[in-house]
Amino acid sequence: MDRLVNVSIDKIQVAVPESATVLKAAEAAGIAVPRLCFLEGIHEEGNCRVCVVKIEGQKGLKPACRTQVSDSMSVKTNTKEVYDAVSSNLELLAGNHKFECWKCSRETSCEFLDLLRRFSVDNTFSNEEVFKHKDRKLNESSGAMVIDSSKCVLCGRCVSACEKYTGLGILNFNRRGSKTYVGPALFTNLEDAGCIYCGKCIQACPTGAIREKDDIKALERALRDPSKTVVAQVAPAVRAALGEEFGYKPGTNVEGQLFAALRVLGIREIIDTNFTADVTIMEEGTEFIGRIRNGGTLPMFTSCSPGWINYLEQYYPEYIPNLSTCKSPQQMAGALIKTYYAEKLGLDPKSVVSVSIMPCVAKKAEARRPDMGRDGYRDVDIVLTTREIARLIRHRGIKFQELDPIKPYGNLAKYTGAASIFGVSGGVMEAALRTVTELLEGHSTPIEFTEVRGLADIKEATYKVAGMDVNVAVVQGGRAIGQFLEMMKKSDKQYHFVEFMGCTGGCINGGGQPIITAPMQGKFDIRERRAKVLYAIDQGSSFRKSHESEAVKVLYEEFLKEPNSHLAHELLHTRYKKRDVYSK
């Protein structure tokens, strides 16, 4: 029984459950105790010592985030002693920090900067030569993510987040004492250390110590190159979250303003990744039906999440034959941009700069895979995360809230409802089912397959299709991927089609999405809010099945001929390879 107890915080009386912490009790009293390393449900070690408070009758100061309340406990959060102690700790952290706030990826969401401002911390130690102890540990070689110890406050949140979300233990504390640094063992390059680039660590980091590789300058250069034409594509999940960067409530669809902003930035050719999401369903659906009819490898695994591909290639390469050979919608779009679209625009593909706006950090590495291009050019040249495009829009002084929404012109910006839900876990599966069931049955089949929706790590369902029991599963997040594959190995159940996503929630919770800072993370589930946007777009679409898309029909008629054709295979399909971890 969790009885209520009376606690006094800064002389304010509150009644809270006995199991509550002082931090929660303070919240109930309307007091926001400063905090840094506490990340609810992920990292609760009480090691930063920023949340220390004075508890009457107890020696020293105690961490509010992990100290349980007791009846008639009296707490002071803001005495001179507490204030000086917290300031002192922040001052020490500041002394190791390389301040580049104006160009830092966390310019508007840095929890450390917020604390420094709150306590007006002096930059006492930064300039003293004699106090320099930490060598900067910087790893940028993955091309997707950056680890930078010069911004690290050693809170440990990333270590815990990686452990919780993937179970791969890519990050940990190395060495000890003041020489401690966070990173893979011996600071091995991320690409060699088994990382899948899901970016949960970035979402957990309070500063810019772990961040996406910043490619904003690459876009700026391309826009100013008179010999180049920039063509941009935008992923489904971006429109559901970008608004958060400009003060919109989480769960607001800002699609029209997003496209308008790209136009204002100077990008004239804009297409929608949603279009190729529909194309992906055509290609993958056909591939799946082929495997069913011709005894191909089953279950078939989806292949649009590069975080998931990274996981499979490094940890379960024996399942490579199960992967669909389809590229992701990003890469299909890139291939079509450089061939089909460039031709239409009368442009040499080498003069086209293909840019994608993605909720994902792993996409940066995906774009550089060897198969993703031909004839000396890449299908996607630059990948920008939702956060980077937001920064660029802000830096250019564009008033996002005041933009009039626009819709890009042309077939390559048209999409069905099925495409829009690609950004949610279960969305690819549902989109595929809408088309595959209809093709197999030969007549109209349901639009909604709600069993595959939702936040559960592993979802399963069975559908009767053309006299067959089709067993499907939807898996989200690194940890669940490992669990599911191990379970599948031991199980007798024959699965037919499994959707895998590297991020829980799907792309809407991708490593490149707007950061929800720690104090907010405990308050609501961002995945639900963003998912609502995409399901709403789906609901409001006139066409909700990929094969109903006129634009897709035109593409095949004019260019690809039919799904899985020779040309489709050449441009829209790929190969996978076993990758070793810590082999160098």
Partner 1 sequence: MLERMQILICGGTGCRGSHSKEIRAEFERVLHEMKLHNEVQLVTTGCFGLCDKGPVVVIYPDETFYSHVSVADVAEICEEHVLNGRVVSRLVIKDSVDKQKVKNFGELKFYAKQKRIALRNCGNINPLEIDEYIGRDGYFALGKVLTEMKPVEVVDWMKRSGLRGRGGGGFPTGQKWEFAAKSSDPIKYVICNADEGDPGAFMDRAVLEGDPHSVLEAMTICGYAIGAHQGYIYCRAEYPVAVERLNHAIAQAREYELLGRNIFGSGFDFDIEVRLGSGAFVCGEETALMASIEGFRGMPRLKPPFPAVKGLWGHPTNVNNVETFANVPVVYLKGPEWFKAIGTAKSSGTKVFALGGKIANTGLLEVPMGTTLREVIFDIGGGIPNKRKFKAVQTGGPSGGCITEKSLDTPIDFDNLIALGSMMGSGGMIVMDEDNCMVDVARFYLDFTVDESCGKCTPCREGTRRMLDILNKICRGDGTLEDLDQLESLGNMVRDTSLCGLGQTAPNPVLSTLKHFRDEYLAHVVDKVCPAGVCPNLTNYVITDKCIGCTKCAKNCPVGAISGSVKQKHKIDLEKCIRCGACKKTCPVNAISSKPEDWRAVVNG
Q: Which residues bind partner 1 (CB under 8 A)?
A: 45-50, 52, 60-61, 63, 66, 68, 81, 84-85, 88-89, 92-93, 95-96, 125, 130-131, 133, 153-154, 156, 172-173, 175-180
Nearer to partner 1, 92 or 298 (CB): 92
Write out the H or E segment, with its range, that includes residue 470: strand 468-476
Residues in the chain: 584
* 3-state DSSP assignment of residue 395: helix
Minimum distance from residue 108 beta carbon to partner 1 (Å): 24
Q: Which helix (H) or strand (E) holds 117?
A: helix 111-118
Closest approach, Cβ 153 to partner 1, in A, equals 8
Please state the closest distance from residue 131 (CB atom) to partner 1, in A.
5
Contact 500, 308 (CB under 8 A): yes
Nearer to partner 1, 29 or 36 (CB): 36
Q: Which is nearer to partner 1, 38 or 288 (CB)?
A: 38
The contacts of residue 119 (CB under 8 Å, 6+ apart) are: 34, 83, 86, 87, 90
Smallest gap, in angstroms, from Cβ of residue 204 to partner 1?
17
Q: Which is nearer to partner 1, 63 or 243 (CB)?
A: 63
> How far apart (Å, rounded) are the C-alpha atoms in residues 447 and 312?
31
Residue number with CB closer to partner 1 (159 or 196):
159
444 Cβ partners below 8 Å, 6+ apart? 438
Q: Distance of CA 275 to CAs 419, 424, 479, Å?
A: 7, 16, 31
Q: How far is the CB of 52 from partner 1 (least distance, A)?
A: 5
Q: Alpha carbon of 20 to those of 47, 52, 59, 106, 483: distances in Å? A: 19, 16, 21, 31, 32
Q: How far is the CB of 481 from partner 1 (least distance, A)?
A: 24
- Dihedral (Cα; 5, 6, 8, 11), 10-degree rounding: 160
Closer residue to partner 1 in complex, CB, 92/398: 92
Residue 96 or 437 having the CB closest to partner 1: 96
As measured in angstroms, the least distance from the Cβ of 551 to partner 1 is 55
Cis peptide bond prior to 446, omega within 30° of 0: no
CB nearer to partner 1: pick between 48 and 481: 48
Determine the Cα–Cα distance for residues 161 and 145; give it in Å rounded to an integer.
Answer: 16
Q: Please give the sequence-ordered ranges of beta strands (E in DSSP) within 46-197, or none if there are none.
A: 52-55, 62-63, 73-76, 138-139, 145-148, 172-174, 181-183
DSSP state letter for 502: S
51 or 282: CB nearest partner 1: 51
Compute the least distance from the CB of residue 46 to partner 1, in Å: 5
Q: How far is the CB of 116 from partner 1 (least distance, A)?
A: 14
User: With contact defined as beta carbons under 8 Å apart, do 330 and 308 qualify?
Assistant: no
